[in-house]
Amino acid sequence: MSMTPDPIGSSTTAHTRGTARVAVIGAGPVGVGLVERLLANAPLLTPGRPVEIVLVDPYPAGPGRIWREGQSPLMRMNSFAKDVTLFPGEAVRCDGPAHPGPSLAAWAAATATGLLPPVDPRLRADVRETGPDSFATRRLQGAYLSWFLGEVTRAAPPEVRVTVREGRAVALTGGPHGVQRVRLADGSSLDAHTVVLALGHLDARPRGEEAAAAEFAAEHGLTYLPPGFVAETDLSAVPPGADVLVRGMGLAFFDLMALLTQGRGGRFTRDGGGDLRYVPSGREPRLLVGSRRGLPYRCKPTHRLALEPEPKLRYFTEAAAELLAGPETLDFQRDVWPIIRKDLSHAYYRELFAADPHNTTVSWREFEERHAVATPEEVDRLVAAAVPDPARRFDLDALRAPLRHAVFPSADAFRAHFSALLEHELRRCADPARSADTAVYRALLLFFEQLPRLRARLDARSRAEELDGAWLSLFNLVASGPPAFRVEELLALCRAGVVRPLGSGMRVRLDRTAGRYRAGGANHPGEAAAAVLIDARVPDPTVTGTADPLLASLHATGAATEETLSDPATGYRTSTGRIAVDGLGRLVGADGRAHPALFALGWNTSLRGARAFAIPGTNAAAFRHGDLVARAVLTGLPAN
């Protein structure tokens, strides 16, 4: 692929004369997924028209920033290899053509057997170890992304070419003859007829309590690491043996945990009873960790379902059609949540009755008939009678807040309880009779694709606080949890004293008298003090607070705005932090108008849902949004 495209209209290259150019800012999975959709749709929408697609990114095209092939093998994906693809198959309902292709797992298998070209020798072990139900290394996913980009580029129509411009875009201005001029950090520029922002996860300037923590660190000679990408964070500032307060127990925490333990020479081993133990190197710190929930998300379920094929949603599809047909604005809690809860309950108990009938007292047919017409209170009574063991019931409150009533006299007593909960979670994950958990996981994936249909009909508060708030938190809790091996490692580290849990409702206090950070939780008295504080999470989406120079400059000039949700009737108003785009993905400026030649795509836009990867065989939003934007870009290109 060419690395330095010529300016539009350059007389030095005949190919570029009369060529329409599309600049895609961001060459990670969202960007290269868009390239595939542009190439697939170009023969249909711009037949015979010379088009050049330029990927602009300081990081390698394909892997981008997050999936670079040079990172530590300790960094793992959080999705099953069989559930990762960039190829839109026949199940995708969009106007562009389908383009089936292998999942990450299928690509790894074909690579291992020589059906596809070999990978870098350093990744051979990664390939061999990657099966359908494994969690591949992120660097192997980077190799898959590089292969994907190469495949779609080689199959490009003859009149369309793809080039790569290595560099960071820092500004965007109108150029001569109506083109857009992209300015790069090295002082060079690139002209294009259309620009698409595929920026992915961006750094953000510290604000609020993060800014206060950073200022406190500067005043007292402490160490504060703000939200960011752990794999590229300089952790040398964390001294061996130091107490380190860690705020957050999500995926970023597990990355941090791995790099500060195994990454510093520690190792895991099995004892005679098969339990995982941690052997310290002496160079790891002690991690004092807490969060709002106080526990990690639920392990990724690996159970095989007793019922095949997997069921569709029992109630939502028909109910959603009725809701959409009505004239009223919808309230999530009143109109939508009861249907979701009933569908999740149905999915859980349908599988439970098939996989673990010894723990039920009635037939599935009787239960389902009564469940279908029951009110929420009647469902509770039905379940209590049909499933006598409370531990076998579907309990959303316990799932969301398992530590809500847990109070212990000391940190040691809580630590024992915390370890017992981890042990219980691991047993549950390994128990074939708990396949109902997998049924809920699968149902949530279906809801993730279906609920956006109702977004436009929901009131502003419901969209911001329920759909994007409480609902998404529940989805992440069940569907975005860590692999079981990470929870087992956490348990081993707790037993070794390397990790010490602080509990739920974690609060951090700036002790100016002692010049230390102090933190505690709601589950036991006392606080822990430390000279190091780490916020273990990726930054929230933000336009007004972004640290990205390009997005910041677009916001400063009014070309990009932050999505605002408001309800004039109630006075409710809030900003989501996301890049405001219209239904075609065009940037909405400060004047409220959509720019015809500036687009944005990805999870951090108001289109939402367009995450980096998709599950094969699904009508994923990532594919539908990518196809929508690609077609809008191509149809909006100027005539020859």
- Helix H or strand E segment including 23: strand 20-25
State the DSSP string of 433-481. GGTHHHHHHHHHHHHHHHGGGGGGGB-HHIIIIIIIIIIHHHHHHHHSP
Asked whether residue 571 falls in the same domain as residue 554, the answer is yes
310 lies in some domain: no
User: CATH number, domain at 289?
Assistant: 3.50.50
Q: Mean pLDDT over residues 265-279, rounded?
A: 96
As a whole number of angstroms, the distance between CA 168 and CA 26 comes to 9
Do the bridges between strand 594-600 and strand 194-197 make them parallel or antiparallel, or are there none, so unpaired? parallel
Residue 223 pLDDT exceeds 70: yes
Asked whether residue 459 falls in the same domain as residue 431, the answer is yes
2 lies in some domain: no
Asked whether residue 46 falls in the same domain as residue 19, the answer is yes
| Omega cis (within 30) before 121 | no
As a whole number of angstroms, the distance between CA 55 and CA 66 comes to 16
Give the pLDDT of residue 1: 44
pLDDT band at 188 (very low <50, low <70, confident <90, very high): very high
Query: Looking at 450, 479, 508, which one is the last position of a domain?
Result: 479
User: Per the structure block, which two tokens stand in for 26?
Assistant: 């961001």
DSSP collapsed to 3 states, 524-557:
CCCCEEECEEEECCCCCCCCCCECCHHHHHHHHC
As a whole number of angstroms, the distance between CA 439 and CA 345 comes to 10
Give the pLDDT of residue 310: 67
Chain-wide mean pLDDT for the chain? 93
Asked whether residue 522 falls in the same domain as residue 616, the answer is no
Asked whether residue 194 falls in the same domain as residue 236, the answer is no
Residue 316 pLDDT exceeds 70: yes
Residue 10 pLDDT exceeds 70: no
As a whole number of angstroms, the distance between CA 38 and CA 627 comes to 8
Residue 11 pLDDT exceeds 50: no
Asked whether residue 469 falls in the same domain as residue 572, the answer is no
> pLDDT digit string (tens) for 95-138?
999 999 999 999 999 999 999 999 999 999 999 999 999 999 99
Within 8 A by CB and 6+ apart from 284, the residues are: 240, 241, 260, 261, 264, 266, 498
Domain total in the chain: 3
As a whole number of angstroms, the distance between CA 591 and CA 609 comes to 26
Give the pLDDT of residue 609: 67
Alpha-carbon Rg of the chain, whole angstroms?
A: 26
Q: Mean pLDDT over residues 378-399, rounded?
A: 94
24 lies in some domain: yes
User: CATH number, domain at 559?
Assistant: 3.50.50.60
267 lies in some domain: yes
Asked whether residue 456 falls in the same domain as residue 529, the answer is no
- Cβ(28)–Cβ(190) under 8 Å? no
Separation in Å, CA 180 to CA 51, 196, 640? 16, 11, 17
Residue among 428, 488, 483 at smallest CA distance from 275: 488
Please report, rounded to a whole number, the percentage of residues in the chain having pLDDT higher than 70. Answer: 96
Asked whether residue 429 falls in the same domain as residue 531, the answer is no
307 lies in some domain: no
Asked whether residue 198 falls in the same domain as residue 84, the answer is yes
Place of tokens 């436009």: 456
> pLDDT digit string (tens) for 322-340?
898 888 999 999 999 999 9
115 lies in some domain: yes
As a whole number of angstroms, the distance between CA 353 and CA 350 comes to 6
Q: Among positive and negative, which fits the CA dihedral 91, 96, 98, 99?
A: negative
Residue 6 pLDDT exceeds 50: no
Asked whether residue 145 falls in the same domain as residue 50, the answer is yes
Give the pLDDT of residue 613: 87
Place of tokens 């010049």: 515
pLDDT band at 308 (very low <50, low <70, confident <90, very high): confident
- Cβ(436)–Cβ(348) under 8 Å? yes
How many CB atoms lie under 10 A from the CB of residue 186?
11
Give the pLDDT of residue 15: 38
- Cβ(613)–Cβ(88) under 8 Å? no
Residue 202 pLDDT exceeds 60: yes
pLDDT band at 264 (very low <50, low <70, confident <90, very high): very high
User: Per the structure block, which two tokens stand in for 264?
Assistant: 């510093």
Please report, rounded to a whole number, the percentage of residues in the chain having pLDDT higher than 90. Answer: 85
DSSP 334: I
Residue 12 pLDDT exceeds 60: no
What's the pTM value of the predicted model, to 2 decimals?
Answer: 0.93
Q: Which residues, in sequence order, are bridge partners of residue 290?
A: 247, 503
As a whole number of angstroms, the distance between CA 117 and CA 107 comes to 10
User: Per the structure block, which two tokens stand in for 222?
Assistant: 């402490």
- Helix H or strand E segment including 509: strand 507-511
> pLDDT digit string (tens) for 419-468?
999 999 999 999 999 999 999 999 998 898 889 889 999 999 999 999 99
- Cβ(286)–Cβ(501) under 8 Å? no
Give the pLDDT of residue 7: 42
DSSP 131: -
Asked whether residue 230 falls in the same domain as residue 346, the answer is no
Q: Mean pLDDT over residues 516-530, rounded?
A: 97
Asked whether residue 449 falls in the same domain as residue 595, the answer is no
104: left (phi over 0), alpha (psi -120 to 50) or beta: alpha
Residue 2 pLDDT exceeds 60: no
384 lies in some domain: yes
As a whole number of angstroms, the distance between CA 91 and CA 129 comes to 29
Alpha helices in 472-620 (DSSP H): 472-479, 484-495, 549-556
- Cβ(216)–Cβ(510) under 8 Å? yes
Q: Which residues, in sequence order, are bridge partners of residue 530?
A: 517
Strands of the sheet with 286-290, listed across from one edge: 223-225, 532-535, 243-247, 286-290, 499-503
> pLDDT digit string (tens) for 338-349?
999 999 999 999
User: Per the structure block, which two tokens stand in for 115?
Assistant: 């059906």
State the DSSP string of 150-188. HHHHHT--TTEEEEEEES-EEEEEE-GGG-EEEEETTS-
- Helix H or strand E segment including 423: helix 411-430
* Residue type for position 421: L
- Helix H or strand E segment including 521: none
Q: How many CA atoms lie within 13 A of 230 on its CB side?
A: 25
- Helix H or strand E segment including 54: strand 51-57
Q: Mean pLDDT over residues 358-381, rounded?
A: 94
Q: How many CA atoms lie within 13 A of 457 on its CB side?
A: 19
Give the pLDDT of residue 17: 56
User: Per the structure block, which two tokens stand in for 101?
Assistant: 């292709």
Q: Mean pLDDT over residues 5-17, rounded?
A: 40
Find the domain containing 525 and state its range. 216-296+498-535
3-state class (DSSP) for residue 294: coil
State the virtual CA torsion across 433, 439, 442, 446 in degrees, nearest 10. 180
- Helix H or strand E segment including 194: strand 194-197
The gap from C-alpha 129 to its chain's centroid, in whole angstroms, comes to 24
Give the pLDDT of residue 610: 62
User: Per the structure block, which two tokens stand in for 574?
Assistant: 């809030």
Burial degree of 64 (CB within 10 A; 0-12, 13-18, 19+): buried
Alpha helices in 261-363 (DSSP H): 316-325, 337-355
> pLDDT digit string (tens) for 558-598?
999 999 999 998 999 999 999 999 999 999 999 999 999 99
489 lies in some domain: no
